[in-house]
């Protein structure tokens, strides 16, 4: 069985297990139970495999085996395995038992898993129903996960990419069901890949996502680097989404990733020496036009992130962009951000901030995306790329790309095809003007447009209507009128024959 077949088999088992919750719990909630149980199953199967290896190596010497197991990547106590839970699936307090097991796993791996499971309650009456219903659902869940096809031992799955890819794919499928809530934890893979390639992470880079969700954008950025010589950082405000991100990192073997749980604007946690940490790459899909984003703290911000101006209270887009620019390393940091189109042209406070950023020569490019790419949001979005390697206060041109018309149309959601992504990335890297697709706008042109970045001002996609031959149209009308008159004359004759002509008997 090849890797793809194994991935498909694992995915199908887990996706089928979701039937236990469908129609009972919102997908935005039951994803937490499914993905957490998958993580526990993974830890348990790896433990089982390692235990067998050490028993063989040490010829059953229990003390030496125990010492070896204590040095493994994760420590899973014997009464905290999936098999232990499965053997107690008929217990009346199975929900509390699962919570206790998760707590013990956390305690045994404090440096890695502290608080990861604290936001996920398997004994929740509100989410899982009253005791009898809850016990029945959890028993079914454990029985589904006991399927032999869901064997996650390293000797079967081979390498971490398999389970990591399955986890990512499951998150994507949950996002497809979660509607508007999907944007809180997932960026579509094609958008993530495009943005990651535009900021071009390199060997040795420190990469940060200040609104990291479940971590898919960070993972995608890391995959642009051939080596393992990179470091990932993130911050996420939602507790359960933060937990998913932590598990996602472990399942991709990025154990050293630092993922913080807090509000990025009000309480940035990625701080060192009382200053914001700096990164080679800062990449994010922040919440669109967030209301009440933290304007009340902006004027007194000790990190001076809002020196170009304070965004309006009801539109937090430029607050996140300002934070991202502030955390990019001077002289070489790159910033890639997904934004609603309003960020490009709205006036007032936002217009002043946008003007300041352009005058500082920070903006390298703007890419317009097709509509309906994002789960639960049909509006088109854009990508903005800032580059601190550009000469400060210089007047380098800005590349505009209108990629909004090139995509694959889906029933519920559109997607970027691989050729669409390649065209965007190649055009951006070569900074290549293409008729009706891209334009390299000099500073003076942007200034003449009052620093309005609305893409149609720079990329002319107008297709002239074909000229109308009025003489031919008149001839067609005359022909049609003649044919109509002939038909009416025939109809009148038929009516007379039937004795029902106008004025005749009825």
Query: Does the pLDDT at position 350 exceed 50?
Result: yes
Q: Is the model's pLDDT at 353 over the cut of 50?
A: yes
Rounded mean pLDDT of 205-218?
A: 96
Q: Using the predicted structure, report yes or no on whether residue 467 has a pLDDT greater than 80.
A: no
CA–CA distance, 247 with 254 (Å, rounded to integer): 10
Q: What is the CA radius of gyration of the chain?
A: 30
Has residue 136 got a pLDDT over 50?
yes
Q: What is the mean pLDDT of residues 468-483?
A: 83
Q: What are phi and psi of 341, to 5 degrees?
A: -60, -25
**Please, are residues 433 and 439 in contact by the beta-carbon 8 Å criterion?**
yes
Alpha-carbon 35 to chain mean position = 16
pLDDT digit string (tens) for 231-241? 999 999 999 99
φ/ψ of 252, rounded to 5, equals -105, 15
Work out the number of other CB atoms within 10 angstroms of the CB of residue 69. 18
Q: Given a cut of 80, is residue 412 above it in pLDDT?
A: no
Q: Position of tokens 């094609």?
A: 190
CB atoms within 10 A of CB 450: 10
How large a percentage of the chain has pLDDT more than 70? 96
Note the pLDDT of residue 38.
95
Each domain of the chain, given as residue ranges in start order, spans 3-158, 181-457, 467-506
Does CATH place domain 3-158 in 1.20.1260.30? yes
Distance CA 387, CA 337 (A): 12
- Listed range (8-17, 106-115, 180-189, 334-343) with the worst mean pLDDT: 180-189
CATH number for the region 181-457 comes to: 3.40.50.150
- How far apart are alpha carbons 276 and 124 in whole angstroms? 38
pLDDT over 60 (residue 505) = no
14-18, 89-93, 114-118, 487-491: range with lowest mean pLDDT? 487-491
User: Could you report the per-residue pLDDT of 317-345, keeping only the tens digit for each?
Assistant: 999 999 999 999 999 999 999 999 999 99
Q: What is the pLDDT of residue 180?
A: 60
Q: What angle do CA 212, 176, 95 make, to 5 degrees?
A: 75
d(CA 415, CA 369): 10
Task: Please report the pLDDT score of residue 233 as a whole number.
Answer: 98
Closest by CA to 123, choosing from 96, 84, 104, is 96
The values of phi and psi at residue 65, to 5°, are -65, -45
3-state DSSP assignment of residue 302: coil
* Residue 245: band (very low, low, confident or very high) from pLDDT cuts 50, 70, 90: very high
Q: What is the pLDDT of residue 231?
A: 97
pLDDT tens track for 376-397: 667 889 999 999 999 998 999 9
Distance CA 243, CA 240 (A): 5
| Separation of alpha carbons 122 and 101, rounded Å | 11
Can you tell me the mean pLDDT for 293-302? Answer: 96
């Amino acid at each position: 069985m090849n890797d793809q077949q194994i991935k498909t088999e694992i995915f199908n088992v887990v996706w089928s297990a979701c039937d236990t919750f469908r129609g009972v719990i919102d997908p935005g909630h039951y994803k937490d139970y499914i993905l957490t149980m998958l993580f526990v199953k993974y830890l348990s199967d790896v433990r089982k495999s390692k235990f067998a290896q050490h028993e063989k190596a040490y010829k059953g010497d229990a003390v030496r085996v125990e010492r070896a197991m204590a040095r493994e990547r994760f420590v899973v106590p014997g009464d905290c395995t999936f098999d232990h839970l499965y053997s107690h699936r008929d217990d009346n307090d199975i929900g509390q038992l699962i919570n206790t097991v998760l707590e013990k796993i956390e305690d045994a791996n404090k440096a890695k898993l502290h608080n990861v499971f604290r936001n996920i309650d398997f004994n929740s009456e509100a989410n899982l129903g009253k005791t009898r219903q809850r016990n029945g659902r959890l028993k079914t869940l454990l029985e589904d996960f006991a399927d032999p096809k869901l064997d996650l031992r390293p000797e079967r799955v081979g390498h971490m990419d398999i389970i990591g890819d399955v986890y990512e794919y499951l998150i994507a499928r949950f996002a497809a069901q979660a509607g508007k809530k999907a944007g809180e934890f997932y960026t579509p893979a094609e958008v993530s890949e495009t943005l990651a390639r535009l900021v071009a992470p390199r060997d040795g880079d420190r990469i940060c996502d200040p609104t990291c969700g479940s971590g898919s954008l960070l993972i995608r950025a890391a995959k642009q680097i051939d080596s393992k010589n990179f470091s990932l950082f993130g911050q996420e405000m939602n507790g359960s989404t933060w937990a998913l991100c932590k598990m996602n990192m472990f399942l991709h073997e990025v154990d050293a990733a630092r993922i913080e749980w807090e509000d990025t604007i009000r309480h940035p946690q990625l701080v060192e020496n009382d200053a914001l940490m700096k990164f080679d790459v800062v990449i994010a899909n922040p919440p669109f036009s967030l209301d009440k984003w933290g304007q009340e703290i902006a004027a007194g911000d000790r990190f001076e992130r809002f020196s170009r101006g304070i965004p309006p209270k009801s539109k937090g887009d430029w607050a996140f962009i300002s934070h991202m620019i502030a955390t990019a390393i001077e002289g070489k940091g790159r910033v890639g951000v997904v934004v609603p189109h309003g960020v490009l042209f709205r006036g007032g406070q936002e217009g002043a901030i946008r003007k300041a950023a352009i005058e500082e020569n920070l903006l390298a490019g703007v890419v317009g995306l097709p509509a309906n790419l994002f789960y639960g949001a049909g509006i088109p979005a854009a990508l903005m790329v800032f580059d601190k390697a550009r000469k400060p206060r210089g007047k380098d041109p800005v590349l505009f790309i209108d990629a909004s018309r090139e995509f694959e149309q889906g029933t519920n959601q559109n997607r970027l095809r691989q050729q669409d992504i390649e065209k965007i990335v190649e055009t951006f890297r070569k900074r290549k003007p293409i008729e009706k697709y891209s334009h390299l706008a000099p500073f003076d042109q942007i200034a003449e447009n009052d620093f309005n970045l609305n893409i149609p001002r720079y990329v002319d996609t107008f297709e002239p209507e074909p000229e109308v031959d009025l003489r031919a149209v008149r001839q067609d009308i005359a022909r049609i009128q003649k044919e109509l008159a002939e038909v009416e004359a025939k109809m009148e004759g038929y009516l007379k024959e039937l004795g029902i002509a106008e004025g005749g008997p009825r």
